[in-house]
Amino acid sequence: MSLRERLIAGIAEGGPISIAKYMARCLHDPADGYYATRPRLGAEGDFITAPHVSQMFGELIGLWAAEVWARLGSPTKVHLVEMGPGDATMLTDVLRAGRAVPGFLAAADIWLVEISAPLRASQARTLGDRPVQWVRDLDDIPADAPMIILANEFLDCLPALQFVRTDRGWAERRVGLNADGELAFGLAPDLQGAPPGLPDAPAGSVFEVSPELLSLGWRLGALIAKTGGCALFVDYGRAIVECADTLQALSGHTKVGPLERPGEADLTVQVDFPGFLAAAHEAGALTALTTQGGFLIKLGIGARAADLSRSNPDRAEVVDRQLQRLVGADGMGELFKVACVHGDGLEPPAFEGAVDGS
Ligand code: SAH
């Protein structure tokens, strides 16, 4: 039975399911989930991420990580962690750039937080014989050294609940069946289940809450407060609390209906950065948020692009297009944000002087 058929049978028997449950099944169902069976990243696949746009992205993040290590006092051991490393393109660029800072890579134990078996295999192929360790969760890494944690387009995979404002209050949006027995969105009949503190909004507004994102924010904040160090999360998301229906399915670089092809398309929501960072702050860490464009420009992406163009003039136009795509307001520069969670006493590079955002 296909995932669609199994979802339909399950809903016919047990009733409608939350958007979060639907997302989790589509992404991680062991037999048919997108990441469990057929993740396709890159130009030939379903979606392109910043590391695939240009090597400059991962290289600057690598230098950022090495500088964090230096500002931590060059400890003899750090855990260098990437969450959701995809095909390890970014990590390869991070490690190549990290070589520029003597001692950094020798001090770094590398951990990959990944639950997708096909992507673990792809990471192993890309990284060759470099010693790395895979875990399923951040909590599986020993908290015995400072952490430098990186993630690009990881948080947007964490399942979210959706609530719709009706004239009687907030009602949960769910996936049920229509009169033809096909998957369809609907509203929970009673108003129970909406978390407290949802904003006031006009009827029809949609508000998203991701319990998994908030729980990760909390666990991450507590971990960083305990071990020291710094985490960097780059993702498509919002900087303020606002209503929007951002559930999106991508297949072959084209948006498809989120209910159209369960398990065959990537399914994401925009990241609720205010919620994520407030949870990390509450748990004892410091936080800051900026745009991807602002972050990369502060780290010197302009000079890096000029270097690349000088050493390979034939590619100057391509490099310029890549630069614009990463930092331009009409590309990823404004829509993508960079969230930083760090310990007391550390001034993370590119966030110097930033006021704690939460
Ligand atoms: N960072 C890569 C890949 C982004 S796709 C890039 O920018 O190209 C999302 C990644 O997160 C994939 O590696 C996916 O398998 C992983 N992932 C998604 N949900 C996860 C979860 N709950 N736990 C661990 N990894 C997860």
Residue from 154, 213, 234, 235 whose mutation best tests the ligand 1 pocket (most atoms within 8 A of CB) = 154
Is residue 348 over pLDDT 80? yes
Q: Give me ligand 1 centre to Cα 90, in Å.
A: 12
Q: Which pLDDT score, from 0 to 100, does residue 191 have?
A: 79
Q: Give me ligand 1 centre to Cα 253, in Å.
A: 17
Percent over 90 (pLDDT), the chain: 91
For residues 129 and 295, the model is more confident at 295
Q: What's the whole-model pTM score?
A: 0.96
Q: Whose CA is nearest to atom 24 of ligand 1?
A: 114
Q: Give me ligand 1 centre to Cα 166, in Å.
A: 34
Q: Which pLDDT score, from 0 to 100, does residue 356 have?
A: 57
Q: Could you tell me the end-to-end alpha-carbon distance of the chain, in angstroms, rounded to an integer? A: 46
Q: Which pLDDT score, from 0 to 100, does residue 354 have?
A: 65
Work out whether strand 78-83 and strand 108-113 pair parallel, antiparallel, or are unpaired. Answer: parallel
Pocket of ligand 1 (CB under 6 A): 35, 41, 49, 51, 84-86, 90, 113-116, 119, 152-154, 157
Indicate if the alpha-carbon torsion angle 194, 198, 204, 208 is positive or negative. Answer: negative
Q: Give me ligand 1 centre to Cα 353, in Å.
A: 31
In whole angstroms, what separates CA 13 from the centre of its chain?
Answer: 34
Q: Would you call 96 helix, strand, or coil by DSSP? A: helix
Measured distance CA(86)–CA(170) in Å, rounded:
36
Q: Which pLDDT score, from 0 to 100, does residue 196 have?
A: 81
Q: Whose CA is nearest to atom 14 of ligand 1?
A: 84
Minimum-distance ligand 1 atom for the alpha carbon of 85:
1
Measured distance CA(51)–CA(103) in Å, rounded:
25
Measured distance CA(148)–CA(81) in Å, rounded:
6
Minimum-distance ligand 1 atom for the alpha carbon of 153:
4
Is residue 291 over pLDDT 60? yes
Q: Give me ligand 1 centre to Cα 84, in Å.
A: 3
Q: What are phi and psi of 73, to 5 degrees?
A: 95, 25
Question: Average pLDDT for residues 143-169, to the nearest whole number?
Answer: 96
